[in-house]
Amino acid sequence: GTKKKAACPGLGLFYTVLSAFLFSLASLFLKKIEDLHAVEVSALRCIFQMAFVLPGLIYYKTGFLGPKDKRIFLFFRGLLGSSAMILLYYAFQVMPLADATVITFSSPVFTSLLAWIFLKEKYSIWDLLFTLFTVTGVVLIARPPFLFGSNVTGIEGSYTNHLKGTIAAIASTVSAASTFVILRKVGKSVHYFLSIWYYAVIGLIACIIALFVMNEWRLPYCGKDRVFLILIGILGLGGQIFLTKALQIEKAGPVAIMKTMDVVFAFILQILFLNHLPTWWTVGGALCVVASSSGTAIRKWLQSSKKAKQNEI
């Protein structure tokens, strides 16, 4: 018989690094946009995703609503997922790129906590330790005045905006973690394209309502901003595709660990293109958050590998 061609060693990890680089570039271009509110950028990103997903829904004949017993989960997946995107985009606009990126890396820790609460998954002393590390990292980045004094350095603009960005990044992370818990609950019974469809449609509706209330909707004045918007859509989509491909051919643990390259790229791009040197507080916070998220990923990976070996026996 013919032998099955072996996958290229490390290809999944290369896809992960490439995905991290594309996501980081998209975040950089978001920082460069001057005339648009984060909610409007999110709305245009949703439109871009809808245009991409629609042919896939038609090709795979998934329908537009999904199974009746899964629609409520899909609705909240779309609502929480799009909320995470909007809040993250706002955080990117009002605080340093590296700070916002680091806070988002606390997502695995919050996922473990929410899975323990809602899915009754095991929550050990190690998970608690990683959670405390994450909280410490976020505090080092936020640097509240009652702990660090009123003279806070190394931030963009006013401390009020920095604090708003920090709160938005944390809320985005919790929303993203809630999305992961919902996707675990749904499992493989719903097609991936349908999940993205709900994310894009509900996100677009939420953005339009928010823009109407805030009276913020306007076309970008500068041709440069329009180019950045297109690039954000393309790079975000490319990053999602490569991350999905990585998870298809590589175990989740190594992918989660390699995804910490997001933080490295964020620091590099911030220094090279935004002329903003991170403070030692940010570096210390980054080490705490990356250590806790990597520890969570490694622990879950080892647990799943042990369970797989027991099933083989």
* pLDDT tens profile 278-310: 888 888 888 888 888 778 777 777 777 777 676
SS (H, E, C) the chain: CCCCCCCCCCHHHHHHHHHHHHHHHHHHHHHHCCCCCHHHHHHHHHHHHHHHHHHHHHHHCCCCCCCHHHHHHHHHHHHHHHHHHHHHHHHHHHCCHHHHHHHHCCHHHHHHHHHHHHCCCCCCHHHHHHHHHHHHHHHHHHCCHHHHCCCCCCCCCCHHHHHHHHHHHHHHHHHHHHHHHHHHHHHHHCCHHHHHHHHHHHHHHHHHHHHHHHCCCCCCCCHHHHHHHHHHHHHHHHHHHHHHHHHHHCCHHHHHHHCCHHHHHHHHHHHHHCCCCCCHHHHHHHHHHHHHHHHHHHHHHHHHHHHHHHHHC
Q: What does the pLDDT look like over 35-80, one tens digit per residue?
A: 778 888 888 888 888 888 888 888 888 778 877 877 888 888 888 8
**What is the rounded average pLDDT of the residues 87-106?**
85
Top-confidence residue, 281 or 247? 281
pLDDT band, very low/low/confident/very high, at 121 (cuts 50, 70, 90)? confident
For the chain, what are the domain ranges? 24-312
Residue 28 to residue 248: CA distance in whole angstroms:
28
